[in-house]
Amino acid sequence: MFRRRPFYCAFISAAMVAGCLIAAGAADGEKRGRTAPGKPSPWRLIEPIQYENLIIFPVVSARSADTAGFATLDDALAAREAVVTEGGANVIRRTRDGRPPAIPQQQGASVNQLVLINRGSKPLVLLAGEMVSGGKQDRIISKDRIVPPGAEPIPLDVFCVEQSRWSSGAQFSAGKIMVHPSVREKAAVDQEQNKVWAAVRSGTTSSPGGGEGSGGGGGTYAAPAVVTSGSIGEVVASEAPTGAYQKIYQSKKVNSTVEPFVEEVQRRFARRIAGLKGESVVGVVVAYGGELAWSDIFASGEMFARYWPKLLPSYVVEALARPRTREQASLDDAGEFLRPITGHETSESEPDVYRLTQVTQGRYVEIELEALRPADIMLHTLKIHRTS
Amino acid identity, residue 30?
E
C-alpha distances in Å from residue 348, one per residue of 154, 194, 312: 16, 24, 29
Which residues lie below 8 Å from residue 127, measured CB to CB, with a gap of 6+? 73, 141, 144, 178, 307, 369, 380
Which residues lie below 8 Å from residue 277, measured CB to CB, with a gap of 6+? 18, 21, 22, 24
Residue 18 host element (H or E): helix 6-20
Helix (H, G, I), strand (E, B) or coil at 51: strand
Rounded to whole angstroms, how far apart are CA atoms 54 and 328? 9
Rounded to whole angstroms, how far apart are CA atoms 277 and 48? 17
C-alpha distances in Å from residue 31, one per residue of 21, 218, 263, 269, 355: 21, 24, 27, 18, 29
Residue 97, burial from CB neighbour count under 10 angstroms (0-12, 13-18, 19+): exposed
C-alpha distances in Å from residue 298, one per residue of 10, 126, 174, 353, 387: 19, 13, 21, 17, 23
Q: CB of 280 within 8 A of CB of 301? A: yes
Per-residue pLDDT in tens (0 to 9) along the chain, 388 residues: 444 444 444 444 444 434 433 333 333 344 544 455 556 678 999 999 999 999 999 999 998 899 999 999 999 999 999 999 887 555 444 434 444 444 334 344 577 889 999 999 999 999 999 998 877 788 899 999 999 998 789 999 999 887 665 565 556 887 789 999 999 999 999 999 999 988 888 888 876 654 444 444 445 666 666 766 556 656 555 554 555 677 666 666 666 788 899 999 999 999 999 989 999 999 999 999 999 999 999 999 999 999 999 999 999 999 988 888 888 999 999 999 999 999 999 999 999 999 999 999 999 999 999 999 888 999 999 999 998 7
Residue 332 host element (H or E): helix 331-337
Domain limits, the chain: 6-67+209-221+230-385, 71-178
pTM score of the predicted model = 0.82
Torsion-angle region of residue 52: left (phi > 0), alpha (psi -120 to 50) or beta? Answer: left
Which residues lie below 8 Å from residue 259, measured CB to CB, with a gap of 6+? 2
